[in-house]
Amino acid sequence: MDLFSSALGKNITFVRPAYFTISGFSGVPHVKYYYVFLFFVYVVSVLGNTAVMAVIYLDHNLKTPKYVAVFNLAFVDLLGSTALVPKVLDIFLFNHYNVPYNECMMFLFFCNTCLSMQALNLVALSYDRLMAIMFPLHYQTKVTNRSMFSLISFFWLFAIIITLIAVGLLTRYSFCKSVVINSYFCDHGPIFRLACNDTFPSLVIAYMSFFLILWLPLVIILSCYLCIGYALSKVATAQERLKAFKTCTAHLSLVAIYFVPILITYTLGADIHPNARIINLSLTAVVPPMLNPIIYVLQTQEIKLSLKKVLKMKNLSKIMFK
């Protein structure tokens, strides 16, 4: 308890810097081209996720639990990319390396919340696939729009609470060592390591978040697919098994793209080189939001048909207008 009491600020005068300095890459020539690359990835991500959200919203046939989760995934990807990339470009392309203290805390909150929701949303999609394959005749009664809304709302609340605790603990620290954050954004780990009082609570919440937001969702997803594999093994023909499995390929692609690089980064922790950490985290933050809509459009028949309908209606309206 003494450790937590000291970290929570009892009898401590907080030394809060006016700003933090984001260091970014060190010793990498022509690094600005990398941030230009992030900008183009961001543009593709915004266009793709907006298109997916618009198609799901406009097509009544897509008002199903699965597409409630897909819509939320697109929304999280759009929100997360917008919270991160424009600010990163402002810092490194326009040399605004000093980020005000309160702005840095907000920056951290939105980035971490969206990163957490990406993982939790993949859990919601795996649950949907599990119910659809294991209980095909009862799927519509077991998984409804209301139950999917409730599950996603719980995940949002959970992600927000975990991130608020992490940010709240940071605000109870004194920063008298340095204000230079060895990352490309206001990163939780590099920030609390700069504090000069006891940071044990932040270390605990960092490990808890790592388990609850990364490892636990991955274990749940893999468990769902073990159950799906067992259920498919009982299906009579190989053609039926392949047809059922094809409905999972888009989701499995998203799981691999998201979890592999981020688990490598956070498992290595402080041992990873700062430049390697920046590359892994930045690509994990911007590449999955760009690829998610492309994967769902290419691998999901319903969205393909819906897009064709939308484009056909658009062409007809142009002809009628002329």
Give the Cα separation of 164 and 105 in Å (integer): 10
What is the chain's length? 322
Q: Please state the rounded mean pLDDT for residues 260-271.
A: 76
Give the Cα separation of 61 and 45 in Å (integer): 24
Q: Please state the rounded mean pLDDT for residues 94-114.
A: 96
Return the residue matching tokens 């097509």.
59
Rounded to 10°, the helix 32-58/301-321 angle is 80
> Tens digit of pLDDT for each residue in 219-231?
999 999 999 988 8
Residue 298's contacts (CB-CB under 8 Å, 6 or more residues apart) are 304
Give the Cα separation of 88 and 186 in Å (integer): 10
What domains does the chain contain, in order, with CATH numbers? 19-321 (1.20.1070.10)
How would residue 111 be classed by pLDDT, with cut points 50, 70 and 90?
very high
Q: Residue 181: helix, strand or coil by DSSP? A: strand
> Tens digit of pLDDT for each residue in 55-87?
899 888 888 999 999 999 999 999 999 999 999
The whole-model pTM stands at 0.88
Give the Cα separation of 195 and 310 in Å (integer): 54
